Structure formats: structure tokens, C-alpha cells
């Protein structure tokens, strides 16, 4: 694999402007663009006035910038320790990293479409669940429109609520509401209150607004575009209906599971009333789909809750969203493939519609690559650190899924382990799109080999 550098990225962009055609592959430009953004964020966060303590160290700034651009939210220094300037740098990086990922995907697909065969165009459109290149352009515009409307609406509601309830004055409420609305919509999960969001555990309005922002940002912009365009359940595509059902079921499973496993834990939900328990369990379930907000100390949760959390982080949100993970659509296809094998169906079927073998293979590739990455990263962390396995697994999942959830050990890890987390955050954000493009533009071999018997299982 050729090394991605800032020079090669700028050269690719120059060729695009000069010749009207993209010479470098979109994944290469995407990775280079994210790297440049991270380096720029590192320089800004390393300035003396970016932190109340006189600036971050270069590695601390690099880690924080990576966590912001990849909308992960892991930190080795508290975000609360940043100055107002540093907090604005973080939230701008989060917004560009969240929306830039999606809009770049759309723009790159359009660019590819200008020089792809009809077969390749159909694969690219399938990858983004669209029916035409024109629809992809509409999606790009919709992404920006949705972002502005949702973030501003959330900011207005939260600021008025916090000001009206006497939590803070109007200026502070506007700033805090904007920051947390952007973090929620982009599934970053960064909170700059001294206690995170723990003081809002029993606040239904705050929980409702932030959880809704997380869900909307993580469900996928093509799905939102189709819902607003068609507005009737019966006219929605099978894919959109499956994703909506999957989102609802996973959120409810996480909600019920966390509440059942933690309701008697005096260090988490056990100390709260029933209403506050329900709100905290709901917000935590939604956040585990790659948002990363926390309403109680994750370092004292039961191991069974940690395992459930890791599974939800692994699944993640929707394709073409601000969320990470293997994506809900991938998980649905894998479940459908397993079910079809168990009942001896020759086709993989979802809601009375068959799924093409290419899609099944793509889903399998995403899962296998993700699992192998987790295993390798976990192996490295167990070598570098003397900590419990479940704690390190939680850290790895939080980084690769871009959820950013941690049991509070990120700052205690050694530098090699923190470098592993940086790589995981970058891969978790850039990797899925890279894999989609490699699958969408791959050349099909004309060679056919004879079949053989091969034992599995």
C-alpha cells in the first residue's frame, strides 16, 4: 500500500481541478484529507491559549484532534480543561469530521460516476442505496440542510430549557447547547460539563433532545431523505423500513438490557429513582450506537453490561451517517444470511425480497475485517498493558466503532497503546468507506475455476 501524504493529496486535488477528472482514488484523497485536518487541529490545540493549563503537549493535541475529527471523543486530557478557543477548535473539527465524511462520500461517488461503466455505476449506487447520480447530488444538499436545521433546533430547545430552569445564564446556555447539539448530531459524545451529563440524568427534556439528535445523525442521511420525500410508511423502500425497525429494536434491546443489568447496581442506576433509571438507561442505549455520551460511571458497570455495550458498539449506526461500527445494514444482512442457511433457503431474503450475493459478500467482508482488526488491537493492548481483558476490549471497541466510550483508562495507558487507539479511531472513520469503494470499483475476474468440496463448520 502506498503511503498517503499531504503532498499526494494536494497533487490529486490539483489534477482534479486541472483535468476535470480525479486521478487518485477517493479513499486515498479521503484519508489524506482527514490526515491534513488532524494535523491542522493538532497545531491549533498545541497553541498556549488552547488550554486553561497553558496548551496541550504535541502528542496530547494529536490524540485530541484525532478523536475530534473521527468523532470518537476519547481523550487523554479532559475536554473541560480546554479553553473556549480549544473547545471551538474541537467542535469545528467534530462538525467537519462528521459531515465531511458523508458529503465527501457523495461527491466522490459522483466523480467516480463520470468515468465508470454502467456496471460500476450500478455498484456504486448500490453501495450508497441510491437509484441515480442525480439523487446522490440531492443527498449531498440534504446532508447540509438537515445538519443546519437539526443542530440549530436542538440548540434553541436546549438553551431555552437550561436558561428557563435556572441552570445557567442565556449566553452560557447558548454556547453549551450548541456544543452538545453538534456533538450529539455528529455522534461524537463529547461533553464539556465538569461531570459530563451526569447532572442531567433526571432531565427528560435534555435526554429527549440529545438522544433524538444522536438517532437522527446516526440513522443515515439517505434514509432521512427518503422519509421526508415519501412521508408514508407503505411507500418507503424495504431497506428503509428494515433500518427503522432495526434501529428501534436495537435501542429497545439496549434500553431493557442496561436497565435490567444495572438497576440494582448502587454505583450506577441503583442510586436513582425509577424515572431517572429509565432515562439514564435509554440515553446510554442510544449513545452506545456510537455517540458515546455517559450518564453514569462506565468503570463500575457489570461485566455483562460491558459485553452488551461492546456488541451495540460493534453494530453501530446506519450507512452514510455520522455513526461508526460495522453498520446496522451489514448486521441485518449477516443475520438474514445465517437464517437462510439454517432453514436451507438458497436465497438470502429480507422482508420478502432477496439480497444479491455481492451484498452478502460485502457484509461478510466488513465483519471479518472489523473482527480481525479488533483481535489484533486487543492482542497489542494485552501485551502493552496489565489490565483486565474486558476493560481493554471496551477500550478497543470504543475507539474502532468511533463511540468513544471508555472505562476511564485512556489517559492511564502507555504511549504505544494510545498510538494503537489513534490508529483504530482513524481506521474506524475512514476504513468503511475505503472498503465500500474497493468493492464498488473492483474489476471482476473472467476466470472461472472448477468447484470442489471444502469442509467448514
pLDDT computed for residue 6 by the predictor: 37
DSSP state of 355: E
Give the number of other CB atoms < 10 A from CB of residue 81: 14
Helix (H) or strand (E) holding 353: strand 353-355
Contact yes or no for 384/417 (Cβ under 8 A) = yes
User: What is residue 354's three-state secondary structure?
Assistant: strand
User: What is residue 388's three-state secondary structure?
Assistant: coil
Q: What is the pLDDT along the chain (457 residues), one digit of tens a residue?
A: 334 333 443 344 344 444 444 455 556 666 777 888 899 999 999 998 888 877 788 999 999 999 999 888 888 888 888 888 999 999 999 988 887 655 655 555 555 555 555 554 554 454 454 556 566 666 666 767 777 888 999 999 999 999 998 888 988 999 999 999 998 888 887 888 877 788 888 899 999 999 999 998 888 777 887 887 787 888 888 888 999 999 999 999 999 999 999 999 998 898 889 999 999 999 999 988 778 788 888 888 888 998 999 999 999 888 777 777 888 889 999 999 999 989 888 888 888 888 888 888 888 988 988 999 999 999 999 999 999 888 899 899 989 988 888 888 898 999 999 999 999 998 888 765 565 555 555 556 677 778 666 756 6
Nearest CA to 327 among 128, 37, 108, 99?
Answer: 128
Report d(CA 160, CA 181) in Å as an integer: 13
SS in 3 state form for 215-278? HHHHHCHHHHHHHHHHCCHHHCCHHHHHHHHHHHHHHHHHHHHHHHHHCCCCCCCCCCCHHHHH
* Total-model pTM: 0.81
pLDDT computed for residue 115 by the predictor: 53
> Could you give the angle at which helices 26-45 and 6-19 cross, rounded to 10 degrees?
130
pLDDT computed for residue 17 by the predictor: 41
Report d(CA 9, CA 30) in Å as an integer: 9
Nearest CA to 209 among 177, 237, 239, 240?
Answer: 177
Q: How far is CA 69 from the centre of its chain?
A: 11
pLDDT computed for residue 435 by the predictor: 54
Dihedral angle sign, alpha carbons of residues 24, 28, 31, 36:
negative
pLDDT computed for residue 167 by the predictor: 86
Nearest CA to 437 among 376, 365, 346, 386?
Answer: 365
Q: How far is CA 404 from the centre of its chain?
A: 9
DSSP conformation letters of 304-352: HHHHHHHHHHHH-S-TTSS--SS-HHHHHHHHHHHHHHHTT-SSEEETT
In a 13 Å sphere around the CA of 180, the CA atoms on its Cβ side amount to 29
Helix (H) or strand (E) holding 303: helix 303-315
> Could you give the angle at which helices 133-164 and 170-185 cross, rounded to 10 degrees?
150
pLDDT computed for residue 318 by the predictor: 80
Contact yes or no for 156/129 (Cβ under 8 A) = no
All residues at 6 or more sequence positions from 145 whose CB lies less than 8 Å from its CB, including other chains: none
Amino acid at each position: 500500500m502506498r503511503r498517503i501524504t499531504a503532498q499526494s493529496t494536494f497533487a490529486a486535488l490539483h489534477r482534479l481541478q486541472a483535468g476535470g477528472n480525479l486521478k487518485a482514488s477517493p479513499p486515498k484523497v479521503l484519508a489524506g484529507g482527514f490526515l491534513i485536518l488532524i494535523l491542522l487541529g493538532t497545531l491549533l490545540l498545541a497553541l498556549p491559549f488552547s488550554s486553561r493549563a497553558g496548551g496541550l503537549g504535541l502528542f496530547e493535541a494529536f490524540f485530541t484532534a484525532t478523536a475530534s475529527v473521527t468523532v470518537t471523543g476519547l481523550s487523554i486530557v479532559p475536554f473541560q480543561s480546554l479553553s473556549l478557543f480549544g473547545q471551538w477548535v474541537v467542535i469545528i473539527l467534530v462538525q467537519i469530521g462528521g459531515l465531511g465524511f458523508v458529503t465527501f462520500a457523495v461527491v466522490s461517488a459522483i466523480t467516480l460516476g463520470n468515468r465508470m461503466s454502467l456496471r460500476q455505476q450500478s455498484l456504486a449506487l448500490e453501495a450508497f442505496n441510491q437509484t441515480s447520480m442525480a439523487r446522490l447530488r440531492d443527498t449531498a444538499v440534504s446532508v447540509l440542510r438537515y445538519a443546519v436545521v437539526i443542530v440549530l433546533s436542538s440548540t434553541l430547545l436546549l438553551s431555552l430549557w437550561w436558561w428557563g430552569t435556572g441552570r445557567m445564564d442565556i449566553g452560557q446556555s447558548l454556547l453549551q447547547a450548541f456544543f452538545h447539539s453538534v456533538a450529539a448530531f455528529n455522534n461524537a459524545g463529547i461533553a464539556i460539563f465538569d461531570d459530563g451529563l451526569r447532572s442531567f440524568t433526571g432531565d427528560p427534556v435534555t435526554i429527549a433532545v440529545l438522544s433524538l439528535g444522536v438517532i437522527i445523525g446516526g440513522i443515515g442521511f439517505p434514509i432521512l431523505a427518503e422519509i421526508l420525500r415519501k412521508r408514508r410508511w407503505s411507500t418507503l423502500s424495504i431497506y428503509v423500513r428494515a433500518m427503522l425497525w432495526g434501529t428501534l429494536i436495537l435501542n429497545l434491546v439496549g434500553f431493557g438490557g442496561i436497565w435490567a443489568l444495572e438497576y440494582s447496581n448502587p454505583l450506577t442506576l441503583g442510586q436513582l429513582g425509577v424515572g431517572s433509571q429509565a432515562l439514564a438507561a435509554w440515553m446510554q442505549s442510544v449513545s452506545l450506537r456510537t455517540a458515546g455520551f455517559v450518564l453514569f460511571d462506565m468503570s463500575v458497570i457489570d461485566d455483562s453490561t460491558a459485553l452488551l455495550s461492546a456488541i451495540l458498539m460493534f453494530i453501530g449506526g446506519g450507512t452514510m451517517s455520522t455513526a461508526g461500527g460495522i453498520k446496522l445494514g451489514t448486521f441485518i444482512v449477516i443475520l438474514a444470511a445465517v437464517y437462510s442457511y439454517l432453514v436451507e433457503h438458497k436465497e438470502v431474503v429480507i422482508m420478502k425480497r432477496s439480497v444479491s450475493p455481492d451484498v452478502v459478500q460485502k457484509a461478510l467482508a466488513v465483519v471479518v475485517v472489523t473482527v480481525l482488526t479488533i483481535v489484533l488491537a486487543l492482542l497489542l493492548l494485552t501485551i502493552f498493558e496489565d489490565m483486565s481483558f474486558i476493560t481493554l476490549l471496551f477500550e478497543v471497541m470504543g475507539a474502532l466503532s468511533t463511540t468513544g466510550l471508555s472505562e476511564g483508562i485512556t489517559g492511564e495507558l502507555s504511549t504505544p497503546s494510545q498510538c494503537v487507539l489513534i490508529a483504530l479511531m482513524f481506521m474506524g472513520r475512514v476504513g468503511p468507506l475505503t472498503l465500500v469503494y474497493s468493492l464498488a470499483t473492483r474489476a471482476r475476474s473472467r476466470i472461472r475455476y472448477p468447484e470442489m468440496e471444502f469442509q467448514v463448520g
